[in-house]
Amino acid sequence: MIYRIASARAGITPADIAFVESALAANGESAALAKLWRDSEAITALLDLKGIHRALLESPVALPVSPSLYFYVLVRHAFVAGGLDHPGLADYVAGVLVEKLDSRHQSSRPGSMPGWVTHAVDFVSVIQAAHGMLRFQLEVAAGDQFLVLTGIFAGFLHQRAERSGAPGPAFYESFARQSYRNAANRPGIADDTRELLYLLAETFPLARASLNRMTDRCLF
């Protein structure tokens, strides 16, 4: 089963590379970037540098970087601080944030739901009627949707629960974890996709808490 999973690092641009090179030079560091960007482990080590994270957060002017670089660095550093040292996990979650939060980006991944879908019942009704590949895609989309809502917009879920008695973040966290597990159990998917979805399901509480802290400190 071929399925394109979200990836922030896949969207890194030449302007991003130039920004990283400039940030390294400003911090008295140097790197042969032309070679490093072709090495996955080297990219991880490069973007793990605190100087890059600091440059993104402390720039006094609008940053000439893509949402892909911005969200990957923020998510990666938040995850490492929260005990999640798996670059692929940060890459996926940052890719989901790019798809959901960048108004210029329209997700081309099948099964994605509109951003206004904020109730689990909206997913349940379409998932139950779907089969095969479409059901898998919808299960992943459900996990992604509520990863973003519980990680970035937890305050909205709390307020809605207090105002109307709707389920709170804990319910949607549980729903998202089960959605990722269900998707991972589908036959025929690639091993690396299955591994990532299982990892998302198992580490979801840590990922969500890391996103909550990142949101409080860096986004809003």
At 118-141, the pLDDT tens digits run 567 777 878 888 888 889 999 999
With a cut of 80, say whether residue 3 has pLDDT above it: no
pTM of the model: 0.87
> Pick from 135, 140, 131: which is nearest to 99 by CA?
140
> Pick from 43, 102, 97, 48: which is nearest to 215 by CA?
97
Residue 140 is predicted with a pLDDT of 94
What's CA 53's distance to the chain center, in Å? 17
At 175-192, the pLDDT tens digits run 999 999 999 999 989 999
Buried-state track 85-103, b at ≥16 Cβ within 10 A, e below 16 = eebbbbbbbbbbbbbbebe
At 14-30, the pLDDT tens digits run 899 889 888 887 665 55
Least confident range from 2-6, 13-17, 54-58, 201-205: namely 2-6
At 149-173, the pLDDT tens digits run 999 998 888 888 888 877 888 998 9
Give residues with Cβ within 8 angstroms of 166, minimum separation 6.
119, 157, 160
Residue 116 is predicted with a pLDDT of 47
Q: pLDDT averaged over the chain?
A: 85
Residue 101 is predicted with a pLDDT of 81
Domain ranges of the chain: 9-219
Residue 84 is predicted with a pLDDT of 97
Instruction: Considering only residues 32 and 74, tell me which one the structure prediction assigns the higher pLDDT.
Output: 74
Residue 5 is predicted with a pLDDT of 87
